[in-house]
A and B are shown apart, each in its own frame.
Chain A
Amino acid sequence: SQQGEEDPQALSIQEGENATMNCSYKTSINNLQWYRQNSGRGLVHLILIRSNEREKHSGRLRVTLDTSKKSSSLLITASRAADTASYFCATVTSGTYKYIFGTGTRLKVLA
């Protein structure tokens, strides 16, 4: 079973709007990573946030991590049609090398 659970499962927004997706996990982690996948192809790494960090920015992306609630959020600002993809969070359980991916959020940005 997947540890991570993304919410919502699907999101449809207009170009220029912000998109927020959330991820919850169950165990202690080393870090949490967000990935994007277009049309069943390989995943692209977006951002990594370590367990001792609370917020991180990269371009139009903003990630927060709340280890007390075991949750993370990914905000994409000023979305573009090219942002249409599935977004996954992945965690690395403390003391292991095991990456666990969530079920994903399917984002559709309408032009």
Chain B
Amino acid sequence: ETGVTQSPTHLIKTRGQQVTLRCSSQSGHNTVSWYQQALGQGPQFIFQYYREEENGRGNFPPRFSGLQFPNYSSELNVNALELDDSALYLCASSRGTGDSRSSYEQYFGPGTRLTVT
């Protein structure tokens, strides 16, 4: 297992509500990425944080937002939940240098299973 932890493990929310998911990165890692994985699909990149700044974003609407803290842990916030937001949310940490040519392997947490009813 990696040193990346996520909470909560499972979550059930109602359409229109807001949710916050949390991730603690592996020791020594300064970069955190978030992914959404629908059943039977590959992970879809939401965004990445490097040293508390967002430095990359996928095709997700602004109601998906995030934060990275000085200890490099991170939060994913989703507002106005929709039924299609039901998915496994994965957090991954990695080393980073601020140079996109130096992308490193990612270490994934176990995920948070979000169900929107």
Contact = CB atoms under 8 A, between A and B. Distances in A.
A92 interface: yes
Interface residues of A, number: 26
A85 B41 CA distance: 13
Interface in A62-111: 88, 92, 94-104
Interface stretch (B13-21, B48-56, B62-70, B71-79): B48-56
A23 to B, nearest CB: 11
B68 to A, nearest CB: 13
B105 A48 contact: yes
28 contacts: A2-B41, A2-B44, A4-B42, A30-B100, A30-B102, A33-B106, A40-B88, A40-B111, A41-B111, A42-B4, A42-B109, A43-B108, A44-B2, A45-B105, A48-B105, A88-B42, A88-B43, A94-B100, A96-B56, A98-B48, A98-B58, A99-B33, A99-B103, A100-B45, A101-B35, A101-B42, A101-B43, A103-B41
Interface residues on B, range: 20 to 34
Interface in A1-25: 2, 4
Nearest to B103: A92
Given A33-B105, A45-B105, A97 B48 contact: yes
A43 B43 contact: yes
Nearest to A31: B103
B100 A92 contact: yes
Nearest to A100: B45
Contacts of B92: 43
